[in-house]
Amino acid sequence: MLISALLPVFVSVSSACLLSAVVLPGCKSSPKRTTPELSRLEGKKVALIEIEGEASARAVVETSLINQLVQRGTFEVVTKQDVQKARDFYAQNPTDSAGIAKRAGADYALKATVLTFDATTHNGYSDEDVLDSEWEKDTGEKKRKNVYKVKSLVAKVRVQLDFTDVNTLETRTAVAEDEESVTGEANREAIHLPPPLRFLETTCNAAFKKFFDQYR
């Protein structure tokens, strides 16, 4: 899977939050990672700094994540050019997500890592009993087995979300995930399944909705 940084997006949400993570003495460089409690991020600003994953996965994840943040509360987006300006500042380490977010005016840096983004098609067969007068004439049985094709599409999405306090560098981490499936049967008409990428978009939306419901 190719890894690439997404141009940062700067957001302000009233429904996201992080608790302070416990840090052991002498471990300043490696804060303890714990799960987020998004309800305490009321009114805080979050900078979406990076999404790691394959190009199509990054695009879907960005859209779904931004949409979910918008739906959850007050949301402010500054232009990508303005946030990129913080990244490009001469004294700014371009790999320091928290530093970039802080320079952009955010309270938290958000990084998304695509762990799973797969849509798999499965083919098989099923059967049903149908009335057939010709079959009855030949065999004496009113019903016969009708065998037909069955096709299913299974989509799986898992995205790790890391929220880092730009001042304490404490990080809260959890995984947004969902699995959806749809089945088409050829016993009545031709099988029509949704395009895999579109179905992955639906699954991704569901994953982030569950995430924000679970950790609110």
Sheet holding 108-131, edge to edge: 9-12, 45-52, 108-131, 143-165, 171-185
pTM over the 0.85 mark: no
CB 37 within 8 A of CB 174: no
Helix (H, G, I), strand (E, B), or coil: what is residue 201? helix
What are the structural domain ranges in the chain?
Answer: 9-115+156-177+196-214
Per the prediction, the chain carries an average pLDDT of 77
Residue type, 40: R
Rounded to an integer, the average pLDDT of 73-91 is 73
Helix (H, G, I), strand (E, B), or coil: what is residue 39? helix
Residue where the block lists tokens 């098989």: 124
Question: According to the model, what pLDDT value does residue 178 have?
Answer: 96
The full length of the chain comes to: 216
Residue 18 backbone phi and psi in degrees, to 5:
-135, 145
Q: Please say if the pLDDT value at position 201 is more than 90.
A: yes
CB 32 within 8 A of CB 24: yes
* Digit-coded pLDDT (tens) for 31-62: 455 777 777 777 788 888 889 999 999 999 99
* Structural fold of domain 9-115+156-177+196-214: Rossmann fold (3.40.50)
The DSSP 8-state label assigned to residue 132 in this structure reads: -
Question: According to the model, what pLDDT value does residue 177 have?
Answer: 96
The DSSP 8-state label assigned to residue 26 in this structure reads: T
CA distance 3 to 12: 26
Residue 18 is encoded by which pair of tokens?
A: 């992080």
Q: Which of 71, 73, 76, 10 is nearest to 39 (CA)?
A: 73
Rounded to an integer, the average pLDDT of 165-182 is 92
Residue 64 backbone phi and psi in degrees, to 5:
-65, -40
Percent of the chain scoring above 90 in pLDDT? 30
CB 69 within 8 A of CB 58: no
The DSSP 8-state label assigned to residue 116 in this structure reads: E
Q: Please say if the pLDDT value at position 75 is more than 70.
A: no
